[in-house]
């Protein structure tokens, strides 16, 4: 028997596999997440996405030939259990203008990912978009998941910047990970774990607070600054 101490990870005590997110509805101050429906959302989404074919550059599908083709694509994904797709409805305009999903849902280990994100130009860089990501993160950890992942094409700078802004930790590059639309994809991996979310959550709450915005909608404090302060142990409420 070896006298060398064995290096083992900490025991995970009291873990119960969390629920599956199928059928989930969530609503915040600026956005509602609704199970994706062709009849309810496809027309709005097609109009919102048709303004810029570049929205599809890093996704494995799209652009679509027309509204009917997009309607069929959405219809085929309505009952998918992995990924589970959601429409992002702007609560100000009432229009569906984005899509996101939970995927690679591993209830046994408490891991899932947010992906298939497609945001219309009107939704990008908005309070509603940030709140949608907050709602997905917050539900995951409230439900009992231990790890929340974000993956993207390593060349997709906006997605990588978004992950960093949202407090995800960069974990590295999986080289030659996939072939997407005939092109090589190296994949950048990011994650947030449950213990980190306890620290990060107050930063999101503070950023989303209406008092953090001027009357003309400009942010007063940046989310990235609040996230950095939270990681340093600063009391966000004092900022």
Q: What is the DSSP string of the chain?
A: ---SPP--PPP--S--PPPP-TT--EE-SSEEEEE--IIIIIHHHHHHHTT-GGGGTTSSS---SSHHHHHHHHHHHTT-SSSEEEEEEETTT--EEEEEEEEEEETTTTEEEEEEEEE-TTTTTSHHHHHHHHHHHHHHHHHT-SEEEEEEETT-HHHHHHHHHTTPEEEEEEEEEEEETTEEEEEEEEEEEHHHHHHHHHHHHHHHSGGGB-TTS-BSS-HHHHHHHHHTT--GGG-
233 band by pLDDT with thresholds 50, 70 and 90: confident
- Would you say residue 238 has pLDDT above 90? no
Per-residue pLDDT at 49: 98
Q: What is the pTM of this model?
A: 0.95
Say if residue 181's pLDDT is above 90: yes
Dihedral pair phi/psi, residue 64, rounded to 5°:
-105, 155
Comparing 153 with 234, which gets the higher pLDDT? Answer: 153
CB-based burial, 187-212: b 16+ in 10 Å, e otherwise: bbbbbbbeebbebbbbbbebbbeeeb
- Mean pLDDT, residues 122-151: 98
Q: Are 112 and 148 a contacting pair, CB within 8 Å?
A: yes
Confidence of residue 234 (pLDDT cuts 50, 70, 90): confident
């Amino acid at each position: 028997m070896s006298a060398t101490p064995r290096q083992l990870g900490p025991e995970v005590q009291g873990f119960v596999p969390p629920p599956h997110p199928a059928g989930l509805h969530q609503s915040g101050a600026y956005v509602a997440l609704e199970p994706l429906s062709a009849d309810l959302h496809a027309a709005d989404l097609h109009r919102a996405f048709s303004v810029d074919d570049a929205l599809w550059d890093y996704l494995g599908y799209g652009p679509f030939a027309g509204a009917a083709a997009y309607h069929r694509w959405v219809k085929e994904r309505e009952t998918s259990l992995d990924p589970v797709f959601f429409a992002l409805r702007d609560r100000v305009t009432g229009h569906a203008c984005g899509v996101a999903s939970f995927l690679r849902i591993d209830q046994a280990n408490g891991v899932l990912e947010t992906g298939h994100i497609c945001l219309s130009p009107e939704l990008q860089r908005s309070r509603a978009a940030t709140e949608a990501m907050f709602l997905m993160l917050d539900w995951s950890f409230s439900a009992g998941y231990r790890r929340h992942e974000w993956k993207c094409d390593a060349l997709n700078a906006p997605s990588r910047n978004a992950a960093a802004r949202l407090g995800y930790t960069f974990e590295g590059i999986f080289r030659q990970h996939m072939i997407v639309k005939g092109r090589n994809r190296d994949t950048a991996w990011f994650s947030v774990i449950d213990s980190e979310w306890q620290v990060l959550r107050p930063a999101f709450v503070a950023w989303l607070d209406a008092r953090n915005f001027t009357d003309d909608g400009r942010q007063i404090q940046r989310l990235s600054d609040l996230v950095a302060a939270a990681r340093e142990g600063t009391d966000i409420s004092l900022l």
